Structure 1
C-alpha cells in the first residue's frame, strides 16, 4: 500500500487559508445535516467536505448501504481517519488502545451518487421573486438541508446563496448581502452594519412583493440584536445605514452595475 500523501491535503488547506476560504468553511461546517455519517466527523473533516462542495459525503460502502451507487468516473476526496493499535501492558497483562496516526480515507459527494432516496429530503429552491437578479450577477441560488442553526448564507467567494428556508425574506436578506458586496467589499463574519443593511433591505423587499407586516416583528428582533452589540437603538442603527440601504435597493430593483469580491456573511 502506498504511503498516504498527507502533505497534499495540508498544502491545499494552507492555500485555502491564504485565499480566505477556511474561516468560511469552518463557520458553515459547524452545523451539519443531522443523522448522516458526517455529523459525527471531526470539524476538520467536515471542513474538508464543505471545501469539496457538498453537505453530505460518505465512503463507497456507506453509499451502498444507503441504497446508492457512486457514479462511474466520480472523483473522491480524502478525509482523516484515526489509526489505532493495541498495546500490551506487561504489569497487568491487559491491552490498551493507542492512537498511532491517521489514514486518508476516500469519500464521495452525494452529488456524485444515484439510487434510493435519502433519509432526509434534498430541498428544492422555490420560485422566488428577484431570483433572476442573482442569476444575472452570476450568483447561484441553491437549497440546502439545515438543522435550524441558520437559515441561509451568502458567500461571495463561492458566488452562491444557500437557503435552508423557503421564505422569501430569507432569500431577500442574502440577496441584499450580495448587492451590498457589489458596491463595497463585505467584511468577514457578521458585521453589525452589514447585517442591519441586509435585514432592513429584506424588510423593504418583502413589502414590495406584497408581504405586508407578517415578518415585521422578526425583522425588528433581528436588527435589534445587532444594534445592541453596537450599543445603539434600532432607530439609530437603521438611520446610520439608510444611505447604504438605498444604494443596495437601487442596485437590486434597477439593475445597477458594480463589482466587488466578498467574504462570507449570513
Structure 2
C-alpha cells in the first residue's frame, strides 16, 4: 500500500504545482434541522459548540422527546434570565422584570438514551474505512445539515459526526482521527491539521473512494484557505504536511486492506 500512497500523493502534488485545478462541485448535505438550542443566545451556543457537539437540551426538554440523561453524565452550564415578578408601587399592577442571570444545566444528545430523534434516523452510505473508524473506538453518525460545517471529529465523545453523505467529508474526519491516534491533535481549526486532513481526504478519494477526483477543486480551495493563514501557497502548504499525511494514510490503510478488498471499484 505504501507505493500506491506515494504515487497518489505525487500526482496530487503535480496538479497543485501546475495549477490544473477543476471547478468547485457542490457538496450535498442532510436536511437542516431546527434544534431547540438554535434559539439560544450566541454566547450559550458557543459554550456548547466548544465541546465539539451540536444538540444540547435541558433535562425536561429531553423528557419531552422521550430521551433520558444517562447516569453519571456531566452537565454543561449555560446562562438563562432570572425573571422576577413584583407589584408596581404606583399602579399596584404585577410586572415582570429581569433580576439577573442564573445557570441552567444542559446535556448533549450523546449523553442521553431513549427514542431516536428524526435526524438520528438518517442513514449513512457504507463508506470505505467505516469499519476502520470503529476499530479505533470511534462511532460514525449522521447529524442534521449545518450552515457552517459538513462534519466534525470529537476527541472527547469519540464520534465522527457527518452532516453530509459525501465520502470526501468522512475521509477528512477520519484523517483527523488517525492524526489524533498517531501524535495527538489540538482542538479547533488548526491550519496545519486542516491542511493535513484535507490532503489525506483527497488522497483517500483516489485510493479507496468511489468519487475519485470529483471534488478535487473543493479540496484545493479548502487547503488554499488555510494556506493563506500560514502565508503559504497551496503547493508549499501540502509539501509541509506531506510526510505527516503519508503516515496517516499508511496508518489507516495498513490495517484495513481486508475491508477494502470488498469495496466495488
User: Is the contact made by 2:133 and 2:140 (CA closer than 8 Å) also made in structure 1?
Assistant: yes
RMSD, aligned α-carbons: 3.6
What secondary structure does 1:170 align onto? helix
Question: What's the counterpart of residue 157 of structure 1?
Answer: 156
Alpha-carbon distance, 1:93 to partner: 6.0
User: Is the contact made by 1:49 and 1:56 (CA closer than 8 Å) also made in structure 2?
Assistant: no
Residue 37 (structure 2) pairs with residue 44 (structure 1): no
Question: What's the counterpart of residue 262 of structure 2?
Answer: none
User: Is the contact made by 1:83 and 1:103 (CA closer than 8 Å) also made in structure 2?
Assistant: no
User: Is the contact made by 1:49 and 1:57 (CA closer than 8 Å) also made in structure 2?
Assistant: no
User: Is the contact made by 1:134 and 1:141 (CA closer than 8 Å) also made in structure 2?
Assistant: yes
Alpha-carbon distance, 1:136 to partner: 1.1
Question: What's the counterpart of residue 122 of structure 2?
Answer: 123
Uncovered stretches (5+) of structure 1, i.e. residues with no partner: 1-32, 257-266
Alpha-carbon distance, 1:113 to partner: 4.0
Alpha-carbon distance, 1:70 to partner: 4.9
Aligned length: 218
Q: Give the 3 Å change call, closer, same or farther, for CA 142–86 of structure 1 in structure 2.
A: same
User: Is the contact made by 2:54 and 2:108 (CA closer than 8 Å) also made in structure 1?
Assistant: no
User: Is the contact made by 2:33 and 2:144 (CA closer than 8 Å) also made in structure 1?
Assistant: no
Bigger relative CO (Cα 8 Å, ≥ 6 apart): 2
Rounded Cα–Cα distance in structure 1 between residues aligned with 2:230 and 2:244: 17
Q: Give the 3 Å change call, closer, same or farther, for CA 127–62 of structure 1 in structure 2.
A: closer
Under a length normalisation based on structure 1, what TM-score does the superposition of the two structures give? Answer: 0.67
Q: Give the 3 Å change call, closer, same or farther, for CA 92–151 of structure 1 in structure 2.
A: same
Question: What's the counterpart of residue 230 of structure 2?
Answer: 230
Rounded Cα–Cα distance in structure 2 between residues aligned with 1:246 and 1:207: 14
Alpha-carbon distance, 1:155 to partner: 1.6
Rounded Cα–Cα distance in structure 2 between residues aligned with 1:148 and 1:54: 12
Question: What's the counterpart of residue 8 of structure 1?
Answer: none
Question: What's the counterpart of residue 183 of structure 1?
Answer: 182
User: Is the contact made by 2:160 and 2:174 (CA closer than 8 Å) also made in structure 1?
Assistant: yes
Q: Give the 3 Å change call, closer, same or farther, for CA 176–56 of structure 1 in structure 2.
A: same
Q: How does 1:26-45 map to 2 (within 5 A)?
A: 34-42=33-41, 43-44=43-44
Question: What's the counterpart of residue 246 of structure 1?
Answer: 246
Alpha-carbon distance, 1:112 to partner: 3.6
User: Is the contact made by 2:38 and 2:45 (CA closer than 8 Å) also made in structure 1?
Assistant: no
Residue 138 (structure 2) pairs with residue 144 (structure 1): no
What secondary structure does 1:242 align onto? helix
Question: What's the counterpart of residue 213 of structure 1?
Answer: 213
Q: Deviations over 1:43-75 (max 9, x none)?
A: 437856997x772536658865xxx5457x976
Question: What's the counterpart of residue 114 of structure 1?
Answer: 115
Rounded Cα–Cα distance in structure 2 between residues aligned with 1:130 and 1:62: 33
Rounded Cα–Cα distance in structure 1 between residues aligned with 2:136 and 2:142: 18
Rounded Cα–Cα distance in structure 2 between residues aligned with 1:228 and 1:49: 25
What secondary structure does 1:97 align onto? strand
Under a length normalisation based on structure 2, what TM-score does the superposition of the two structures give? Answer: 0.67
User: Is the contact made by 1:38 and 1:58 (CA closer than 8 Å) also made in structure 2?
Assistant: no
Alpha-carbon distance, 1:88 to partner: 3.7
What secondary structure does 2:137 align onto? coil
Question: What's the counterpart of residue 22 of structure 1?
Answer: none
